[in-house]
Amino acid sequence: MAMYWSDRVDDGVHSGARPPRASYVPPHLRPNSFVDESRHRFHEDPYAFDTRFGRHRNSRQLGRGLVGRARGLGRGRGGRGGRGRSQHHGFHDPVPEANPFEAVVEKFDELEVLSENAEDNEEAINFDAYEDIPVESSGENVPPPVDKFEEIDLGKALNENIKKCKYVKPTPVQRHAIPIAVAGRDLMACAQTGSGKTAAFCFPIICGILSGQSSGSVMPRGARVACPTGLILSPTRELSCQIHDEVKKFAYQTGLKAVVVYGGAPIVQQFRNIERGVDILVATPGRLVDMIERDRVSLKKIKYLALDEADRMLDMGFEHQIRKIVQQTDMPPPGSRQTMLFSATFPDEIQRLASDFLSNYVFLSVGRVGSSTDLISQKVEHVEDMDKRNRLMELLQSQRASGKYGKQSLTLVFVETKRGADSLETWLTSNGFPATAIHGDKVQLERERALRSFKSGATPIMVATDVASRGLDIPHVSHVINFDMPRAIDDYVHRIGRTGRAGKHGAATAFFNDSNLPIARALVTLMQEAKQQVPAWLKECAGKSSHSPGDGGGGGGRSHRYRGGSKFGGYDYRSDTAANVDYSSSSSSHHHYVDSRAYVNPYATTSYAAVPYSVPYVADPGFYATQHGYPAAYGGESVAANGWD
């Protein structure tokens, strides 16, 4: 008998004789009814992308049975600081879905699937785009990479789900990270945005729990404390929900239970969800701490801990909570659990902090740490603040004129402040451009509504603060506009990474003026690495900014980790002999690959020694913040208030 998704994953099913109230359906569980049934076409970028990656798409329509869904009823009241009364809207509650892959079909239909037979799909996705990415791994006895999922013993059920997801072969980060993690090693992995890091930590957790026959999901009758075996932490509610959806797909029909808990949603409902048992808990840190303090979650059985957006999780906004969760609870210590840290950016001072949580770990970087993918066509324009709206309007008008506007071509506009987001949304809408906005002052229902409206194309423009900058995997985002530049280059990398994902192309436009000078140098370097054309005026700005006092020479909060010179992979801070003299022992190894072809670069280690812009590590948690310009706060808003959960 077919197993229904809602039967397996305990998401807070309304039980008992009373029929469930029709409830608000969060976007993560809702199939996209707006998706055009005609063939999706690869979007074209506004800046004449290289079209060599374009492939013919299969005309076969994948089945898209309508999935039962409930209609939203209540409207959360708006208001600052989440003061709006939050009725029970069934946040991320279960919706009777026939099968999680029904909704997934649309998502994966985005991918270049050429044939129903997975075996024939070798070139289904644009893996060519990743072929020349340098890969570096370091640590003791690093397990070698694989070329196919079948080379790793992931178990029958997971393998079937991987096929259903149309993951024909692993992306480079998966190729390297999964064997390392499946071998039980701790891992710090850095890979470019949109390159498949989620699966890289989900597969080993699912496979490990299944093979270990752990039974965290079974709670004794009357027990109220949930004891998950796997814990995945992420910085935002939306990202946690997205990861939860991914885990559910990958763990479909395995018997594993995945639950998500996050702030802004009714905790009582989430208690009910975890009471039904949980193997893999996906959480935002604040809500998890709350649950631990109320003795409703115990971490004593944790065998797998993954931090997505790990550098964000360990910087000043979250470090305290993460330390509390990882070091001040009953969670087994490093060595007794397996810890995996993933991000597209990994400043070396954060690497140092992170090593507190790891044991004999492997450092893996796919591409240079903090680099952006060259699938994104980047453009920087000099625009004064007072001209930004007009310029934005021009860009949107030209997109509309060329047909690159609408539900198949979404535009994400990043601004610095929440107030700025609201005001730009209003202005765009009143000028005939349907827009929505997402930021941390909106109640969760409004955030989800905004995201849903954007994803569906009902409002093909979304104005966002950094709350939407990391991790979100939204199909059809073809253009990211940095209306306000971020203060740190890493934030720029994550923001533009909302486009150009999974081998697709995207475009990013940044409005730059003198107030952004501190980021100029890092921006130029980043663009040059990604083979982008850098305007001469920007190079001049970079020349000026490199001499700015206090920026360490690189600007953008990155100078101290921007190790010039090496063309290979990333940077494991342990390679810095000054930082870790023991590391250069003969038992450790340092591998460089170009893609999966083993390539040993004899000069790599020494190349790191040439650190032109290095500044000393300061054991001061405020240091990283200072580098990111946080103490001055974003326009008077604290980092936490900026929307991080």
Ligand X SMILES: Nc1ncnc2c1ncn2[C@@H]1O[C@H](COP(=O)(O)OP(=O)(O)OP(=O)(O)O)[C@@H](O)[C@H]1O
532 binds ligand X (CB under 6 A): no
DSSP string, 374-424: TTEEEEEEE--GGGHHHHHHHHHHHHHHTT--BTTBEEEEE-S-HHHHHHH
- Cβ at position 194, least distance to ligand X in Å: 5
Q: What is the rounded distance in angstroms from the CA atom of residue 167 to the CA atom of residue 173?
A: 13
Among 94, 179, 196, 569, binds ligand X (CB under 6 A): 196
- Cβ at position 508, least distance to ligand X in Å: 13
199 binds ligand X (CB under 6 A): yes
Among 94, 285, 497, 557, binds ligand X (CB under 6 A): 497
Among 27, 194, 347, 486, binds ligand X (CB under 6 A): 194
Within 113-132, the residues that bind ligand X by CB under 6 A are 125
Among 502, 507, 510, 524, binds ligand X (CB under 6 A): 502
371 binds ligand X (CB under 6 A): no
133 binds ligand X (CB under 6 A): no
Helix 237-250 to helix 156-164 angle (10° resolution) is: 120
- Cβ at position 200, least distance to ligand X in Å: 7
* Span from 2-10, 197-205, 433-441, 526-534 in contact with ligand X (CB under 6 A): 197-205
201 binds ligand X (CB under 6 A): no
Total residues in contact with ligand X, by rule CB under 6 A: 20
Q: Could you tell me which residues come within 8 angstroms of residue 451 by beta carbon, excluding any fewer than 6 positions away?
A: 27, 238, 438, 462, 468, 472, 474
Contact present, 210 and 158 (Cβ < 8 Å): yes
Q: What is the rounded distance in angstroms from the CA atom of residue 201 to the CA atom of residue 314?
A: 18
- Cβ at position 98, least distance to ligand X in Å: 20
- Cβ at position 478, least distance to ligand X in Å: 15
32 binds ligand X (CB under 6 A): no
214 binds ligand X (CB under 6 A): no
174 binds ligand X (CB under 6 A): yes
Contact present, 304 and 185 (Cβ < 8 Å): no
Among 195, 532, 614, 627, binds ligand X (CB under 6 A): 195
315-338 per-residue burial string, b: 16 or more CB within 10 A, e: under 16? bbbbbebbeebbeebebeebeebb
Within 56-115, the residues that bind ligand X by CB under 6 A are 111
Phi, psi for 47 (deg, rounded to 5):
-120, 40
- How far, CA to CA in Å, does 528 sit from each of 207, 423, 483, 538? 40, 34, 21, 12
The 316-345 site mask, x for binding ligand X (CB under 6 A), equals: ----------------------------x-
Rounded to 5°, angle at Cα 415 from 412 and 420: 120
Phi, psi for 644 (deg, rounded to 5):
-75, 150
- Cβ at position 107, least distance to ligand X in Å: 6
Measured over the CA atoms of residue 254, residue 255, residue 256 and residue 259, the dihedral's sign is positive
Query: Tokens at residue 342, please?
Result: 């993933």
501 binds ligand X (CB under 6 A): yes
552 binds ligand X (CB under 6 A): no
28 binds ligand X (CB under 6 A): no
Q: Which is nearer to ligand X, 174 or 378 (CB)?
A: 174
How many residues does this entry show for the chain?
A: 645
- Residues engaged in binding ligand X (CB under 6 A): 111, 125, 167, 170-171, 174, 191, 193-199, 344, 471, 473, 497, 501-502
